[in-house]
Structure formats: structure tokens, C-alpha cells
Structure 1
Amino acid sequence: MNFENNLAFAQALDQADPIRDLRQDFLFPQQNGKPFIYLCGNSLGLQPKAAREVLDEQLNNWQNFAVEGWFEGETPWMFYHKELKKLMAPIVGASAAEVCPMNTLTVNLHLLMVSFYRPTASRFKIIMEAGAFPSDQYAIESQVRFHGFDPATAIIEVAPREGEYTLRIEDITAAITESGDEIALVLFGGVNYFTGQWFDMEAITKAGHAAGAVVGFDLAHAAGNVPLQLHDWGIDFACWCSYKYQNSGPGGISGIFVHEKHFSDTTLNRFAGWWGYQEQQRFKMEKGFVPEAGADGWQVSCTQVMPMALYYASLQSFKKAGFIAPLRNKSKTLTSYLFIIINEVNKALGEEQYKIITPLTQADRGAQVSIIAKQKGNEVFEQLIVNNVLGDWREPNVIRLSPVPLYNSYEDVFTTGTLLLDISKKLLK
């Protein structure tokens, strides 16, 4: 597509957008009586209009049924998670049996590592991306120490080459192969939170399995953002938060994936809880943990009804969209347009004031575009907020902008570029 840096072109793209009406499903924050151009869905998604309705429904159930709400009403809480499983599965490319909404992301990461990080004296290392989100770093460090190993020797971090910002897949697979006999677990993010790079998850999984390791992913920035095929890629386990691209609200419920090939493995360790016990026998309160079939067997505590209701509300928009494929098509065009707009800003300024560090190739990125501001980045970012554009700032000099296909428009991208140029001309005189 030949993009044009003008309002009429952006509006024409919006008019031709087959999922443009989904924008009406969301509430935008406002400032001075005007809605923000919201480009921070990679950090916290917007509130779906349906959120209040579904939350009120469950509050009414609590009011009207009290404890009997676990078994009464149109959506008994005992089985409420099953309504979400059917909607979650297409988003990550899994069967409903392989996914489950529960807990929060880092809690689930720990629970899954209990099962899938099983180090031995000779095979104990974990390979991960350098600069992963701190939660992953801390969780992995603590798990390594819990098993009696030193993080300095047990954790292998793969970093970009000197002068580069993103990882090359050949460097990742080479690192896995090089230490293959010592690696117990390959644990990567699906999309890097800082650069927005989408890793070749299928290639990483193949390399990890060829080395004899278990392979898992933190999909915090991938689930609901990029098309995933967790089952077909043979990934062993994964977990994600749902409050970024899946709009379930601050601190919203997390999700897990466990490949069905592990369902019958009775040797897996678990930190068990009663909600993971066999559903039909759960209330007999018997000793001896017998897990429910599938991913549900990793549950610990009972259903978190209110957070699940908020997640359910957002998943309705994915269902209306046709799940990931239509969203992905729009996302690729939105980010390509944003690339063009940023380059046009640099051209007008006569220098590369804003360096894009997100991969240029569409297959290597999701909805996020990260830029390094050469000068006065924080001041530029603050002025964008003053002018009703809300992105995300990362120290020391990176602005993250994420046009989310569910609710962002091409006009949003064009207007952001116009404001970025105006602000830069004023601040960088």
C-alpha cells in the first residue's frame, strides 16, 4: 500500500475498515472535554462498555443468591470459567481444554514452573531473553534459587548484537543448541515489552525441543495482539495477563495454556489447591489430590468471579471481530502507517530525532511501535499528553505507541504524527 501523510487518506482508510465499529465498544479517557488518542493498550487496555453490565449482573447474582450463586442463576460461578475458556482458546490457538483463566500472571508463571522446570545436576539451566520484563527475571531467579542453583550460572540470557536493539532468531537458536545438554527450560516472552519484537515462537520451540528442553512463553504482550498457535507449535506451557490487549481491567485475571500432551503425565509436580481437584468429586473433601482433566487441573483457588466477568466482557469484542485474523490484518496496516508517519516527522525535522527500534518486518512485530527520542524525549512525551495523546514512556528515552486494532483508527495515527511534529518543532528549536 502507498501511504499518504494527510487527513483525507487516513479517513478513507477508516471508512474502508471492516471492523471500525468495534471502536464504539470502548470508553476513552477524556481531558478538557475531549477524548484521548489512546496508544497505551500495550500497558492497559481501554474499558469495554459491556464491563459495567456484566459486572452488575454478577453483583446482582451475589445480592440475589448469595452463596447459592455458585450453583444458581444463568451463569453459576462453579462453572463460570468454562464460558471464558471457549473464548480464550481461539485467541491463543489452543483447545478449550488446554486453557484456563486463573490468578495473575506471575503467580501462574511460578505455578507452571513448579511443573515444568525440573532441573537435574547436569541439566538445570534456563535460557531467556536479556532485558525481559522484570517479573520474568525475578520469577526465574527465585525458582533457580529454590532448586539450589546460582542464577549467575543457571540462567543464560540471549542479548542483541552490539549496536542492535532486537534479537536475531539465529542467535537464539544457536544459544539453545550450544548449551543444549545443560538446558532444562527455554522460557521467552512472546513479544518483548520494550522493543515490541515478536519472537519466532515456533522456531524457538523446535530448537528447545531438539535440545531436550521444555519450552514455555510469557505472552503478556502477545495474547490478543498477534496470532498464536500454541497447540500446533507444540509449546509446552504459557501464561499471560489479560489487561493489556485483552482489556480485562487493571490487575485482571490471567490465563494459562498447558499442551494436551502433558495431561496424562502423573510425574509432574504441582502446587495443588482444591479448585484443581476433580470437579465432580471436589465437594467430597477427600485427602489425596486428584487433578481435574486438562489445564483446569492447575487451578489452585476458587473462581475469581468479578475479574472473570470483566474478562468475559472484553472477549465479546474479540468474538465480534472474528477473533485474531481481522485484528491482525488491521494491526499490520496501522503500524505500517505509523512507521511512515514517524519517518515523515523525521524528514520534516531534517534529522532522525525519533529512531524506531521495533522491527520493520510485519511478521516480527505486533501492535507496538517503540521509538528512541534523540533529544528531550520526556518533554515531548509530556506534551503529547497535554495534547490528548496518551502513549507510554520507558526510561531512559523510549516512547512506546501502540495503535490497537480493536479501538484505534488511522486518523489517530495521522493526528499523533501531526502533533509530534508540531511539538518537536517547538521544543527542539
Structure 2
Amino acid sequence: MKYQTTLDYAQRLDQEDPLSYLRNEYHIPKNIKGKDWLYFTGNSLGLQPKATQDYIQQELDDWANYGVEGHFEAANPWMPYHEFLTENMAKIVGAKPIEVVVMNTLTTNLHLLMVSFYQPTKTKYKILIESDAFPSDRYAVQSQLEFHGFDAKEGLVEWKPRDGEELLRMEDLETILEEQGDEISLLMIGGVNYYTGQYLDIKRIAQLGHAKNCMVGIDLAHGAGNIQPNLHDSGVDFAAWCTYKYLNSGPGSLAGLFVHEKHAHTKDLPRFSGWWNHNKETRFNMRQPFDVMSGAEGWQLSNPPILSMAAIKASLDLFEKVGMDALRKKSEKLTGYFEFLINEIGSRDIKIITPSNPKERGCQLSIQVKNADKSLHQKLTDNHIITDWREPDVIRCAPVPMYNSFEDVYRMVETLKNVLK
């Protein structure tokens, strides 16, 4: 597609955008003069849907009116509340409803999943991650190695970019697995890298890992609601993701969990247990021996926090209305326009380290600025643009198709040009 560099063109793209109405469904942060900020950090915290307050208020009202009976009498009964989220969440990540549940937080879910799917032996015990994995993933797998009595440094295998490159190559993963696959028990990979924005071929990763009898897990913190991971078809054993980034559920809100259908009825998988993964038909009998539920629900522990789930429901209902196909179509166009304008600056000091192929990235572009420091980020903030600075020299920007406009992108790049001058 041939883009143009004028404001009129950006505004015309917005007029032609069939999803432009969605912006009005969200609260856009405003400066002290009441003007909208340019918000490009949906990859860290998504904006609040305007409907969220009503969804939460409904549960507060039902709590006030019904007390404990709200578990059964509320407009959305609390007992099965997590089930109201399952189908829409499954569509977003490309899964079957039996494979998905909303529960806990991301790293907690990863640990619970590794209880089941990281079963090391004396000779096959290593865990493979990408070298620039998000710190919480690294800490989680290191602690799992140590918990099982292994040296975390010796047991951690890193998939690294080549010297002078920022992106991971699949052929390098193949080489690692060919050389060390007999010692690797688990691949725990970020599906979309938080720093570069690279979207990895999840299905290929699963194929390579399984060929060496490794379990394969995916962290989709930067993928859920951003790309279409098609988890069921990918064949990965498990995945987990937060909901407060692209899924717009509010700070620290609950996370999602995926366990492939092939494990759905394997009740002797090791796992931690609580009363919420016990058979719901006999759960309140209280004196029955543990009877684990099938599917992803079999990894739950506790009854869910309803107010957080209400915020998730508000957001998922919007996703259901729009659909991921339409969002991805706009995302590729919006990010392509952003990439075009950055490249048009024509400076050797600016480099986009995110893949240029739209199929290998989500809506985030990571912009590397040579010899820059955090003062560049501060200058953008002073101009009412919210981006995300990552050391040593990268600005992460995510034009989210749910609420960012083409004019947002145009004005952000114009400001960046002026700041760089």
C-alpha cells in the first residue's frame, strides 16, 4: 500500500476506517487543558472501556442487594462467573472453550502450569527461553530449576539473536534443539517479545520442541488481543497471558490460561489443587475426595474475584462485537503507516528493530534512536505523548487498533521529528 505524509491523508484514513467508532468506547487520557493525550502504551496498560464502570457497578449493586445470595441471584451469578468469559476469550486466542480459563495472574499461572508440564529427569531437565525474555519469565523458570534441585545457570538454555542483530532466527532454535534437545525438558517462550515486538512462529516452535520430546509453553502477555496465536492449531501444550495490556481489563487484573485439549482429560497430571478445580457437581458437598475437573478449569484453585472479572467481561464483550480478524486488519494498516512515517524521517540515527513483515509483529514498533537517552522519552511526554522507554535506547510505541487513530500516528511522528531536531 502506498502511504502519504500529509495530515489530510491521515484524516482521510480515519474517515475510511470502519473501526473508527471504537475510539469513542474508551476513556482517552487528557492533559490539564482537556485535550487528548497521544496514548501509545496499550502494550503496558490498555485504556478503560467506558462500559467498565457500569459492569462493575452491576456487581456492587448486586452485592449490596443480595449479599451472599449474589452467588446465585445476581444478574450475572457469581458462582459460574468465570464461565461467562470463556467463549469470548477462547476466540481471541484461537482455542476451544475447554482449553481456556480466566484465573490468577500471569506468573502465578505459569508456575501452576510448570508444576504439571515441567517434569525433569536427571538427564532431561533444562529449560529453554529466549535470551531477552521478560524478567518475570526468567525468574520463574530459574526458580523452577532451583526448586527441582538444579543449578539455574547450568539448566537455563538461551535462544539468542546473532551478533549485531536484534531478532531471533528459527534456524538457530533448530540448532539448539539438535545439539541439546535430549537434555531440554521444556521450552518456555514469549510468543511476542516485549522488547522488539517480534511475533514468533508458535506452531513451528511447538513442532521443533515436540520432535525432541520437550513440552512447549508460551507466554502471550504481549500477544493476547494483539495477534492471533491460534493456540489450539499451534499444538503448544500450554500458554498464559495477562489481560491488562491489549485486553484492557485494568491494572493488575486477572490472567488467562490455556491447556491444549490433548491434556484435557489426563487427570493424573501432577498439579496443585484447590476446591475450585474439584468437580463442580460435588464441590459444595465438602466431604468428597478430590475429583479434578477436565480441561483448563482443572488448574483453578480458588473462587474468582468478581470485580476484576466484571472489568474483563466489559472488555471481552467489545472484542466479541468487533472480532480479531477486523482488529488485525486495521492493526497491520495502522502499524504499516507508522513504519512508513518513521522511515520517511530519513535519519540514520533511527532504526525500527521490530520485523518489517506485518505477519511477524503485532501493533508495537520498537524504535531505536542512536545515542539517545531517557530525556528523549521525557521530551515526548512533555508534548503530551505517552510512550514507553526501554534501556538503552528504544522507544516502544503501540498504536492499538481499538482506540488509536491514523491521526494519532501522524501527530506522534511529527512531534518526534521536532524533538529530534
TM-score by length of 1: 0.96
CA displacement at 1:389 relative to structure 2: 1.1
CA displacement at 1:286 relative to structure 2: 2.3
CA distance in 1, matches of 2:214, 2:390: 33
Native 8 Å contact 1:23 1:407 kept in 2? yes
Native 8 Å contact 1:177 1:207 kept in 2? no
1:18 aligns with 2:18: yes
CA distance in 2, matches of 1:389, 1:320: 29
Give the equivalent residue in structure 2 for 1:371: 367
Give the equivalent residue in structure 1 for 2:98: 97
- Secondary structure of the structure 2 residue equivalent to 1:283: helix
CA distance in 1, matches of 2:353, 2:375: 20
Give the equivalent residue in structure 2 for 1:279: 280
1:73 aligns with 2:69: no
CA displacement at 1:377 relative to structure 2: 3.6
1:356 aligns with 2:357: no
CA distance in 2, matches of 1:373, 1:285: 60
Native 8 Å contact 2:124 2:185 kept in 1? yes
Post-superposition Cα deviations, 1:133-177, rounded to whole Å, max 9, x if no partner, equal: 010000000001011111112110111000000101111222123
The answer to which of 373-382 and 200-209 deviates more is 373-382
CA displacement at 1:289 relative to structure 2: 1.9
What does 1:5-404 align with in structure 2 at a 5 Å threshold? Answer: 5-32=5-32, 33-321=34-322, 323-345=323-345, 347=346, 351-404=347-400
Give the equivalent residue in structure 1 for 2:415: 419
Post-superposition Cα deviations, 1:190-249, rounded to whole Å, max 9, x if no partner, equal: 100001000111110000011111111000000100012111111110000000000000
Q: CA RMSD of the aligned region, Å? A: 1.0
CA displacement at 1:287 relative to structure 2: 4.9
CA distance in 1, matches of 2:214, 2:415: 49
Identity of aligned residues (%): 49
Native 8 Å contact 2:282 2:288 kept in 1? no
Post-superposition Cα deviations, 1:76-127, rounded to whole Å, max 9, x if no partner, equal: 1000111100110100001111100000000000000000000011111111
CA distance in 2, matches of 1:67, 1:266: 32
Q: 1:410 aligns with which of 398, 402, 406?
A: 406
Native 8 Å contact 2:62 2:75 kept in 1? no
CA distance in 1, matches of 2:175, 2:12: 46
CA displacement at 1:396 relative to structure 2: 1.7
CA displacement at 1:337 relative to structure 2: 0.9
Gaps of 5+ in 1: none
- Secondary structure of the structure 2 residue equivalent to 1:31: coil
Instruction: Give the counterpart letter for 1:368 in structure 2.
Output: Q
CA displacement at 1:339 relative to structure 2: 1.0
Native 8 Å contact 1:127 1:176 kept in 2? no
CA distance in 2, matches of 1:204, 1:176: 10
Native 8 Å contact 2:267 2:294 kept in 1? no
CA distance in 1, matches of 2:74, 2:370: 58
Runs (4 or more) in structure 1 with deviation over 3 Å come to none
Native 8 Å contact 2:128 2:188 kept in 1? yes
Post-superposition Cα deviations, 1:18-38, rounded to whole Å, max 9, x if no partner, equal: 111111110011112211111
CA distance in 1, matches of 2:69, 2:263: 35
Native 8 Å contact 2:130 2:158 kept in 1? yes
CA distance in 1, matches of 2:170, 2:13: 34
Gaps of 5+ in 2: none
Instruction: Give the counterpart letter for 1:340 in structure 2.
Output: F
Instruction: Give the counterpart letter for 2:219 in structure 1.
Output: D
- Secondary structure of the structure 2 residue equivalent to 1:178: helix
Native 8 Å contact 2:203 2:234 kept in 1? yes
Residues matched between the structures, number: 420
Post-superposition Cα deviations, 1:63-82, rounded to whole Å, max 9, x if no partner, equal: 11111111112211000111
Instruction: Give the counterpart letter for 1:3 in structure 2.
Output: Y
Instruction: Give the counterpart letter for 1:307 in structure 2.
Output: S
- Secondary structure of the structure 1 residue equivalent to 2:12: helix
CA displacement at 1:326 relative to structure 2: 0.7
The answer to which of 141-150 and 64-73 deviates more is 64-73
CA distance in 2, matches of 1:306, 1:100: 16
CA distance in 1, matches of 2:87, 2:204: 27
Native 8 Å contact 1:34 1:388 kept in 2? no
Post-superposition Cα deviations, 1:272-323, rounded to whole Å, max 9, x if no partner, equal: 11111101110011253211221111000111101111011111111121x2
